[in-house]
Amino acid sequence: MTFTKEEKVEHLQNIIKIKSENDHEEEVAKYIQALLAEHGIDSELVEYKPGRSSLVADVKGQKDGQGKMLVVSGHLDVVAAGDESEWTYPPFAAEIHDGKLYGRGASDMKAGVMALVLSAIELKEAGAPFSGTLRLALTVGEEIGMYGSKQLVEEGYADGASGFLIAEPSSTDLVINAHKGSIQYEIISKGKAAHSSMPELGVDALQLMVDYINATNKDFDAAFNAAGAENEQLGRTINVNTVINGGTQINSVASKIVLKANARTVQEAGNDLVVKIIEDNIAKLNAEGRGELELNMLQNNPSAESQPDNDLIKEIIAANDKEVKVEVIMGATDASNFGRIDGDYDLAIYGPGELGISHQVDEHVEVDEYLLAIDLYNKIIPNYLS
């Protein structure tokens, strides 16, 4: 093997120490780029904006890479650590205690990222014992916006892919083959302030928002529960209104209200349908002339779905000497964007770490599971591409 256990752990610690909280991913990408270059692998930084670059690198197998292409991916950003004084160990120190490596992003998902990187290097050093192409695609901005994966797909980096292996934390005992889509959006209601003793002199933005919520809830309920609207694996589309802000004081008519909401979608009642219901109700209420509603789209990512017995998942199961469960999740990953490619694809979301401790204080990954993931990828990838 190319790397010792200590080297594998040190490389993970080094990228956890880079504070890529919803930004500054380019520093992580450059560290990985230098590591790849040391082992003869060229890579490309794909700039999203200054300081934020995704990374793409290919390892071509036998016959100059002719055959299938497997895209392996992880994101370089992490969520904010929050109040660092609440952490038992500093969130960017990457300390190891009782076999656990602590730090923001240890589980979600720098362990998965580095496991993919080291596997790609070790496979290259072993002579790339497969046909086809292994493409490493490490992205920016997954936690907020999924900007990097969207850019890579739009610029053609996923074209021709047969499968996607996303190293999000699932634990090595579980592989995910599908997840819902996600629409995050704001509705802005604009009115006119007035004294509450003379409401006729104002335009009540709060009442307009209440009418919007009631109208869309009725339409959402009908659409999401219609015949044929349920997905066999993922269930039904849902919409949840999560935050509402507005008004200034108790004796004034509200002039502005902002509603935040999140829809989780399935293909049978998909993103276009949700957006159409929102836009139709906004148009209908705006036509009444009692204030103005506006849609601000924050994120619009479709569901990602593959069969639970696809070829990639078969190789994951075969590589293990223990039972591996296959499940779906309701959350969303970069697979939402990668799945926009034409044609069918194999999807497996499979990586070291536990989803339940992601974004938490004292986030960590089991060192042994991280090391196991590298060994598993070294089996899974060439078997899938052979």
Is residue 142 part of the annotated active site? The answer reads yes
The Cα 354–Cα 363 span in angstroms is 9
Which of 21, 58, 77, 204 is catalytic? The answer is 77
The Cα 315–Cα 361 span in angstroms is 34
Give the residue from 381, 377, 370, 363 showing the smallest Cα distance to 104: 363
Give the SS3 label for residue 56: strand
Q: What is the separation, in whole angstroms, between the first and last Cα of the chain? A: 20
Which of 26, 142, 204, 268 is catalytic? The answer is 142
Q: C-alpha distances in angstroms, 17 versus 49, 96, 149, 240, 282?
A: 22, 13, 23, 36, 46
> Would you list the DSSP string of 132-193?
SEEEEEEES-TTTT-HHHHHHHHTTTTTT-SEEEE--S--TTEEEEEE-EEEEEEEEEE-B-
Structure-block tokens of residue 152: 């890579």
Is residue 77 part of the annotated active site? The answer reads yes
Which H or E run includes 118? helix 111-125
Half-sphere exposure of 86 (CA within 13 A, CB side): 8
Catalytic residues: 77, 142
